[in-house]
Structures are given as C-alpha cells and as structure tokens.
C-alpha cells in the first residue's frame, strides 16, 4: 500500500473560495495507526482541501471513514504521519506548549457529545472563563465579565447572567452544545472544527444550532469544517462537500451538485440510504433486501479501490489499482475508475461544457 504510485489529487476550484480569503490548507494529509507488530491501519490517506474564511466545508462519511481523524490532525491533537498543514500561509509546526497554545487560539474544536465534553462539577462561567483567560490579553474582572456575556450571547443563550451561573446538568442538550460552541469562540479562533456538532441532538433542535453556527460564520468570518454523517444537512449548510470512505476522499464538489447528482458509487449509496419521506414506494415498506452489506473491516488495508467489495460497478482494474481523485469539472472530482458507467450524466454534462468528445 505504501509504495504504489502516489495519486496526484486533482486540483479543483473550491466553491468555498468565493466566500473569503484562504485560512487553512491541508495538503496530502496521511495518518497511520500501528495496530500490531506489522499491521498498520492507514486511517487517513492523501487528503487535501482548503478552508476559507466565512465558508463551510463539510466532511461526510460513515463512522470509521477517517473524518474525525482529519479534524484531530488539523486541531493538532494527532501527529501527522506525512503531509502539511498551513495556517494563514505559514506551515504549521507546533513544538512545545507555547506554540500549541498559540495555535489553539486560532484553531478550535467542538466535540460531538455535549453530555461528556462539559465538566459536570463546574458552571458555565468556569467553562468560558478559562479560554478567555488563556487566549485573550489580560483583563480586569469587569472586562472579563463583559466578555463572558458577549460570548454567551453570541450563541443566543439569554439572559446571559442566568446561564453563566448554571451547571451542565441544568441545561438541555442543545443548550449544552451551544455552551461548547461558545467555549470554542471564547478563544477568538479563525478556524472552527465542528465534529458532528448536532448528531447527538434532537432533530428539532439541530436546525437551531446549525443556524447559530451559520450566523457566527458570517459575523466572524469563521472558516468552518463541518463533520457529519448526515449528507442532507451538509447540503443545506455547506459550500463544499468532501465525501470520505476508508480514509480517502472519494468525491468532492459544490454541496448542491454532489448531493443532487452524486458521481461516486459510495456517495450514491449514502444519498440513497438517507431517509426519504417522499419515497412512498420505499423498499422499507414493501420489504426487500437493503443495500450492500456494511464496510468490511479490512477496507483500509485493501488492494485497489477501497470501495470495490461493496461496489456494484467494480471490475478488474478496481481490484488492483487504487483510483486517484480525477477532476470531472473545474469544481468537482471523484476517485473512481468507472465514472462513465456510474455517473454518465454528470460526466457528459461536464464534458459538454468543456472538451466535447468522450474518451475513455
């Protein structure tokens, strides 16, 4: 796996770039985990993308696809096996606590589970005071208090003083998650990494939190990485969508295009698996077998395309050679050898706009 031809990732224009200046670049990130004496799991393989100020990039995939590992790499919580991260045009090289703290004031992380990411024995005030003290210049008690009120009002928890005095157990799931967002914002970051921020919340509450995040993105020109397994929310929330499978980015492009006309067979599977109340002739109600079986455990160590055991279109080449991310159009790319078969319409449309002739 290590010594194969390194796939040169297609260069695509991210639709997120239209929103604002470049904030963070992830270049060919790789992360291997050692499992045993000789076993290595490459959890993230050759993942590249950019985050822009004021834009949302969504990373979509199933559990185990490596999307959280990517976020942890960007947050500096895991060491890169290879690859480069650039923040504001400078290569990130965190050595020692001081560097790490400075990096953290620019790049913040929101965890999935608001029930375990807040300390149950401390008040909201305590949770927010720490990042303000750590990351912002020295403040008097009065200034600090004003800052705390500002931070908590940003996430629409009012009246502020009342919420500052509360303990996590006195808050609902949605309120807790907003405290977690407020805590991340208290550091004054330019990049926010949100790892499944709404998946633990009720459907009716999710929208509210996403709206809060969206407002913050606009107001503070935050560069947002939104990690989710819910591709429908990515459609509404993100500018660009990257779909990950077994450590690889298998498809990327503008959110609307990727969700409405998925090109990669895995994206197609994801889209067709999402609940669809409009589908009254659904297989669910009439019975019939579900989709292909779930991810094989060894997907990350497979020869060839990592999706081929589940792929209905797989042929000989897919079993032997790993496909690089190939550009379909200036803003879209997919890693599949058989795009002509899997998504003929998408390919034809892209070519029709560009070169014209279909070559295989």
Residues in contact with another protein by CB under 8 A are 62-63, 172-175, 202-208, 211, 229-233, 235-237, 256, 259, 269-271, 273-280, 282-291, 293-294, 297
Distance (Å) of CA 297 to CA 126, 165, 316? 42, 46, 21
For 210-213, the CB contacts below 8 A with 24+ separation are 210/236, 210/237, 212/155, 212/156, 212/178, 212/181, 213/181, 213/237
Helices (H) and strands (E) in the chain, counts: 14, 12
138 versus 293: smaller Cβ distance to another protein? 293
Complex with another protein: residue 23 or 209, whichever CB lies closer: 209
Residue of 261, 267, 240 lying closest to 346 (CA atoms): 261
Nearest distance from C-beta of residue 102 to another protein, angstroms: 36
Give the shortest CB-274-to-another protein separation in angstroms: 5
Q: 50 in helix, strand or coil?
A: strand
Choice between 277 and 356, CB closer to another protein: 277
3-state SS class at 336? coil
* Residue placing its CB nearer to another protein in the complex, 53 or 310: 310
Q: How far is the CB of 165 from another protein (least distance, A)?
A: 18
Question: Which helix (H) or strand (E) element contains residue 110?
Answer: strand 107-110
Using omega within 30 degrees of 0 as the cis cutoff, is the peptide bond preceding 159 cis?
yes
Q: For another protein, give the closer residue by CB, 292 or 320.
A: 292
For the CB of residue 150, give the shortest distance to another protein in the complex, in Å.
Answer: 20
Instruction: In angstroms, give the least distance from the CB of 134 to another protein.
Output: 31
Q: How far is the CB of 173 from another protein (least distance, A)?
A: 7
Cα 104 to chain centroid distance, Å, stands at 18
CA 283 to chain centre: 30
Pick between residue 99 and residue 279 the one whose CB is nearest to another protein. Answer: 279
């Amino acid at each position: 796996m290590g010594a194969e031809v390194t796939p040169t990732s297609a260069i695509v224009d991210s639709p997120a770039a239209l929103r604002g200046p470049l904030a963070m670049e992830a270049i060919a990130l790789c992360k291997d985990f050692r499992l045993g004496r000789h076993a290595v799991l490459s959890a993230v393989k050759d993942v590249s993308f950019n985050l822009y100020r004021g834009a949302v990039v969504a990373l979509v995939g199933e559990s185990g696809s490596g999307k959280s590992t990517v976020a942890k790499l960007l947050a500096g919580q895991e060491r890169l096996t290879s690859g480069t991260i650039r923040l504001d045009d400078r290569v990130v090289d965190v050595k020692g606590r001081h560097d790490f703290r400075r990096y953290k004031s620019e790049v913040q992380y929101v965890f999935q589970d608001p029930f375990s990411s807040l300390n149950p024995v401390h008040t909201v005030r305590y949770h927010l005071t720490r990042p303000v003290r750590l990351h912002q210049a020295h403040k008097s008690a009065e200034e600090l208090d004003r800052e705390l009120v500002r931070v908590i009002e940003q996430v629409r928890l009012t009246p502020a003083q009342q919420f500052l005095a509360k303990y996590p157990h006195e808050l609902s799931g949605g309120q807790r998650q907003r405290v977690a967002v407020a805590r991340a914002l208290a550091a004054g970051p330019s990049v926010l990494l949100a790892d499944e921020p709404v998946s633990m919340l009720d459907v009716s509450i999710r929208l509210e939190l996403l709206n809060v995040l969206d407002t913050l993105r606009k107001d503070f020109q935050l560069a947002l990485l939104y990690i989710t397994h819910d591709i429908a929310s990515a459609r509404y929330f993100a500018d660009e969508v990257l779909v990950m499978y077994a450590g690889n980015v298998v498809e990327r492009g503008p959110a609307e295009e990727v969700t409405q006309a998925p090109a990669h067979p895995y994206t197609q599977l994801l889209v067709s698996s999402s609940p669809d109340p409009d589908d009254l002739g659904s297989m669910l109600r009439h019975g019939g077998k579900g989709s292909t079986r779930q991810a094989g455990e060894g997907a990350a160590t497979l020869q060839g395309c990592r999706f081929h055991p589940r792929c209905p279109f797989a042929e000989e080449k897919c079993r032997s050679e790993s496909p690089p991310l190939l550009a379909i159009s200036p803003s879209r790319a997919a890693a599949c050898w058989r795009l002509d078969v899997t998504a003929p319409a998408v390919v034809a449309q892209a070519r029709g706009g560009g070169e014209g002739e279909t070559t295989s």
